Amino acid sequence: MSAKQGYHHGDLRAALIGASFELLAECGPQKFSVAAAARKLGVSSAAPYRHFPDRAHLLSAVSAVAARDLRAEILAAGTGLPGVAEAYVRFVARTGAGFPVIFAAELYAVPDDERREHTRALMTTLFDLAPAPDHARALLLVEATIAVAQGYASLYHDGFFSRSAHSIDDIAARAAEAAAALVRPA
């Protein structure tokens, strides 16, 4: 169900998470709020609090779903760290929920085992895809890939590429090419 259709007495928790993804794609995490999610669904501003005590708990649920879904897309891409960058840019363009949401500092204090499980699995997958002889080098490659992918996703979201009329496919391919350059032997 799209949040634009409104909420009609179903699974409000799931509807709030879906509406949150739409809000994140529209305005980013800085302007995200529980009240905005409620407005998007056409429910009272108090209704979300039956499922989430505050913004951080709703964002934590979104983070868990985002980490799970991003990991699935990365695994489907199956092309190493360049595939990670490409899948990430596409995912963020579609959902608005990238690493700034998945690993938001405000979530560290939220006790959410599901989120922790999915974020841990995501990071394990990233490390498994890093072609490195040791953990320290793998960490550098994963960090650099995340930085490249987040950079391209942010620039796309901020309209940097709009003057040249590049599609998300073009931008995702550029991110993959940049990530490939990171893992090529010197």
pLDDT attached to residue 3: 47
Looking at residue 141, its pLDDT comes to 95
Q: Which domains does the chain have, with CATH numbers?
A: 1-52 (1.10.10.60), 55-183 (1.10.357.10)
Pair of tokens at residue 82: 């360049």
Low-confidence ranges of the chain (pLDDT < 50): 1-5, 186
Q: From residue 184, how far is each of 72, 82, 150, 178 by CA, in Å?
A: 25, 11, 20, 10
Whether the CA torsion 72, 98, 125, 63 is positive or negative: it is negative
Q: What is the pTM of this model?
A: 0.88
Residue 164: what pLDDT?
A: 67
